[in-house]
Chain A
């Protein structure tokens, strides 16, 4: 079979594009090299929907950020994804910062960002009493928001699948061949897929994919960003997302509540040569903690839940690289920040590109933009919960104590597109193992549920695929 379109990469960009394309009468597939979707930058970023005052006037980043930010609330509502319009603040400490804030304001107005306001110290601290007393001014962006980025990715891929798209996991594209009317995409393990069109949303490896069809016009390098995530006890310290005024040293460390009520602090920003090194460093984590303490008072790092490192795909052009270097092949590359914020707009933009290139596109009347929310049970009232438990007693059994996730919710997640096949996949879909004990109590039960549902042996369940096994075998069976 020949697909109409193959989307390479099941991150938030690939996911949103696939979802958009699934609203047309197309035969679609999504190819992902990892064991699950949202395994790259889409699960390790700041989870911010930027207002849009950062990107340079006239850039693709500026255009798509402002558009994407405006689309995000509706997109999240359709997909049942957690989203919160909490506003954002860029705080400054001196006259130099104030000047930068003024220019950000002007840039934001030019970019079309609504509601921007410059605040003095009193107004800033009235809004956010825990922002450092040393802060003297701030740029307030009421449209700044937060979202759950991996949920958005999972839901967009899932929605595309519900509308007919196929997802091929562990499919690392290693070569692309072409005949008259279709590409043949070869995976490292020997599988092949034929597709008329290719969307290259391969993140860090978008340059390698482009090169497979002879396009060497850009390069991607990895920019490391380390984060420290704190317990929900700390989530109420601030309401808005707090940025430091950008300087020659970069954008600085942000402090923000997450949609789940935790506090996220980070990222560092270090360009690295390799594309796989997601190790955190003592210096990086220390930097995050030090600068956070300068920006916000009362952050208690003894409430740390986890630390992690994400790799942003930075393009060589300084802007998003969205183009068609040749027929039937679209690059969607270098989607660094504000990539998450822009994702819904990027999807529309790509469809417009394809239309301009005269790809036959006909709306599919059976398309539904809606997906059942992953956290409906959690938010239900007592009576509603009891109705559900009566029908399915699994919803009365708590598996994850820290985040109160039930067996019913975990089983529903395991059965819903895109189906998770490992512990981390269940974690991203249900929050089980994401609380303060980090899976200490519940992971042995979740391994059991996964083994049962997938009908595989207990010891074959992994943390995130590949060699990330949990158990080596039965006791007294160790060689």
Chain B
């Protein structure tokens, strides 16, 4: 069996950034396995701009952002295989993959970085009543048809869900000559970035219908229309608000799900809230030597943070392979519900730790508080937090050194 120090599953932004960081920190025997025909992952179909502001201080398109990292991979001659699908990862870090040239093959890795990204929640998962015509697409599938294949899925569009891809596609379809009649959002607020609501909906006069959902699908062959309705505070549709909108296309942007099927084969325990692995500050999962980063770990708002997180995983994988470790500890992190989750979920070494988290609702004038029992070790005020935007704080070892457990809470005035 082929031996490789570090196998990275996925050649999107997370996988490439992790590979570069690992290489620069001293591990050269790396292999990136990518299932698509190109590196860069889903960025290649995100032809809009807005990527890279934090990372590069400029606005790049998706393919341009990907290219920055592809260049770094090429310059370092980091090996990668395209059109290669990983079928299984064992807890012993044997990676089984397949492609056309080598068939089904196995690699024994010293460390594995999971960087498989995420997929969109499908229509089936929503259980919308009605018929099953063509013309219903997840926003990302429509994006692929329009931006990569050059085909238009339809002319009259309703979008369910105001996730970022849905917002971006509202604009994209409009620019391509389609009419977007409405973006319906079940929640009383959008899950997308504020700037996308402004630039993709408001600038084009596309109505955002908050607290609305699609309750019925019509049309025998191609979609002919949808019935939407307002929902009450328990998210149940209010019958008297039913409204029929004729349309030939329904795009769904109703959430992203980390693609952790392979993590499960490796026995990696998952967090029920993030649907990603439970990790420590190094992004190491509970299975030793298996790391995770990017959208397979938790869904990020900006790719810039994916790259940042992947660097942590890349460096940590090197430290793991080389047997380098800081002083050990074991501190679990918990949340109060207003803060939905944290990544990492535990701290196992005494060094600087950046903790990412998301909140459950839109809150104003809040204090973010981290406590060890009754002792507050960190607090920070913020004017506004929202579910669509990731938050982060950095803790120093002197703050948590002798803590038993850290709880993350949001105090709302």
Question: Are A and B genuine complex partners?
Answer: yes
B155 close to A478 (CB less than 8 A)? yes
Query: What are the 7 tightest A-B residue pairs by CB atom distance, in nearest-first order?
Result: A306-B124, A393-B100, A396-B100, A463-B134, A386-B103, A438-B122, A478-B177
B138 close to A440 (CB less than 8 A)? yes
A437 close to B119 (CB less than 8 A)? yes
Q: How many A residues are at the interface, by size bracket?
A: 35 or more
Distance from B229 Cβ to chain A, minimum over Cβ atoms (Å) = 11
**Residues of B with C-beta under 8 A to A236:** none
**Residues of A with C-beta under 8 A to B221:** 464-468
Interface of chain A residues 426 through 476 with chain B (CB within 8 A): 436-441, 443-444, 448, 458-459, 462-476
**Residues of B with C-beta under 8 A to A397:** 83, 99-100
B134 close to A469 (CB less than 8 A)? yes
Distance from B197 Cβ to chain A, minimum over Cβ atoms (Å) = 24
Interface pick from A85-93, A128-136, A245-253, A275-283: A275-283
Interface pick from B144-152, B304-312, B347-355, B378-386: B144-152
Distance from A30 Cβ to chain B, minimum over Cβ atoms (Å) = 23
Interface of chain B residues 101 through 151 with chain A (CB within 8 A): 101-104, 119-120, 122-125, 127, 129-134, 138, 140-141, 144-146, 148-151
Complex CA distance for A448 and B87, rounded to whole angstroms:
24
A382 close to B104 (CB less than 8 A)? yes
Complex CA distance for A386 and B120, rounded to whole angstroms:
32
Return the chain A residue nearest B249 by Cβ: A472
| A475 touches which of B87, B104, B122, B176 (Cβ 8 Å) | B176
Does B85 touch A at the CB level, under 8 Å? Answer: yes
Q: Are A389 and B100 CB-contacts (below 8 A) given A470-B153, A471-B151? A: yes
Q: Are A401 and B129 CB-contacts (below 8 A) given A458-B151, A472-B154? A: no
Complex CA distance for A466 and B125, rounded to whole angstroms:
26
Complex CA distance for A284 and B129, rounded to whole angstroms:
9
Complex CA distance for A401 and B221, rounded to whole angstroms:
27
Q: How many B residues are at the interface, by size bracket?
A: 35 or more
| A278 touches which of B122, B131, B261 (Cβ 8 Å) | B131
B178 close to A474 (CB less than 8 A)? no
B129 close to A478 (CB less than 8 A)? no
Does A356 touch B at the CB level, under 8 Å? Answer: no
B123 close to A469 (CB less than 8 A)? no
**Residues of A with C-beta under 8 A to B150:** 474-475
A478 close to B152 (CB less than 8 A)? yes
| 7 A-B contacts (beta carbon < 8 Å) | A280-B129, A394-B100, A398-B85, A401-B35, A440-B138, A444-B141, A458-B151
Taking chain B's interface residues, is the majority helix, strand, or loop, or is none over half, making it mixed?
mixed
A471 close to B152 (CB less than 8 A)? yes
A438 close to B101 (CB less than 8 A)? no
Does A305 touch B at the CB level, under 8 Å? Answer: yes
| B119 touches which of A285, A441, A463 (Cβ 8 Å) | A441
Distance from A283 Cβ to chain B, minimum over Cβ atoms (Å) = 9
Does A307 touch B at the CB level, under 8 Å? Answer: yes
**Residues of B with C-beta under 8 A to A404:** 85, 87
What is B's interface to A at a CB cutoff of 8 Å?
A: 35, 83, 85, 87, 98-104, 119-120, 122-125, 127, 129-134, 138, 140-141, 144-146, 148-155, 176-178, 215-217, 220-222, 248, 261
Complex CA distance for A381 and B140, rounded to whole angstroms:
34
Interface of chain A residues 253 through 305 with chain B (CB within 8 A): 276, 278-282, 284-285, 301-302, 304-305
**Residues of A with C-beta under 8 A to B132:** 278, 308
Complex CA distance for A354 and B151, rounded to whole angstroms:
52
**Residues of A with C-beta under 8 A to B248:** 472
Q: Are A471 and B145 CB-contacts (below 8 A) given A458-B151, A478-B177? A: yes
Q: Are A444 and B149 CB-contacts (below 8 A) given A401-B35, A468-B133? A: yes
Return the chain B residue nearest A281 by Cβ: B129
Complex CA distance for A58 and B153, rounded to whole angstroms:
54
**Residues of B with C-beta under 8 A to A472:** 151-155, 248
**Residues of B with C-beta under 8 A to A440:** 119-120, 122, 138, 140-141
Chain B proximity mask over A377-404: 1 for CB below 8 Å, otherwise 0: 0000010011001100111111001101
Instruction: Identify 20 new A-B residue pairs, CB closer than 8 A, beyond the known A386-B103, A458-B151, A468-B133.
Output: A228-B127, A284-B129, A304-B127, A305-B124, A306-B124, A307-B124, A307-B127, A390-B103, A394-B100, A437-B119, A437-B120, A443-B141, A471-B152, A471-B153, A472-B153, A473-B151, A474-B152, A475-B150, A475-B176, A478-B176
**Residues of B with C-beta under 8 A to A444:** 141, 144-145, 148-149
**Residues of A with C-beta under 8 A to B151:** 458-459, 471-475
Return the chain B residue nearest A442 by Cβ: B141
Distance from A299 Cβ to chain B, minimum over Cβ atoms (Å) = 14
Does A360 touch B at the CB level, under 8 Å? Answer: no
Does A190 touch B at the CB level, under 8 Å? Answer: no
Complex CA distance for A394 and B153, rounded to whole angstroms:
28
**Residues of B with C-beta under 8 A to A465:** 221
